[in-house]
Amino acid sequence: MPAPESNHAVKAAIEEALRCKREGKAETILFNLSGHGHFDMMAYTDYFAGKLQDLNYDEADLAQALAGLPAVPA
C-alpha cells in the first residue's frame, strides 16, 4: 500500500499509460513510489474520528526556518 502522498504519482502514471493507449504510443513511464503508508494509517484513522488537534506554531520559529531555505529563482 503506497503512502497517501505517493498515490498522486501512481494516478499520474496510470493517466499517462491510458493516454499512450488511446494514442497508440509506446512510451516509457517512470515514477517514484516512496513510503508504504503503514505509519500514516493511524493519523488518518484519528483524523476521520475527529481526534486530531489543531496546534499553534510559533511565528518566530517559522520565520527562522524559512530564512534558512535557499533562494529559488523564479
Question: pLDDT (tens digit, 9 = 90+) per residue, 39-61?
Answer: 777 888 898 999 988 888 899 99
Per-residue model confidence (pLDDT) at position 24: 97
Per-residue model confidence (pLDDT) at position 7: 84
Per-residue model confidence (pLDDT) at position 37: 64
The pLDDT mean for the chain works out to: 87
- What letters, b where the CB count within 10 A reaches 16 and e where it falls short, cover 33-71? eeeeeeeeeeeeeeeeeeeeeeeeeeeeeeeeeeeeeee
Q: How far apart are CA 11 and CA 66, in angstroms?
A: 31
* Under 8 Å between Cβ of 35 and 5: yes
pTM reported for the whole predicted model: 0.48
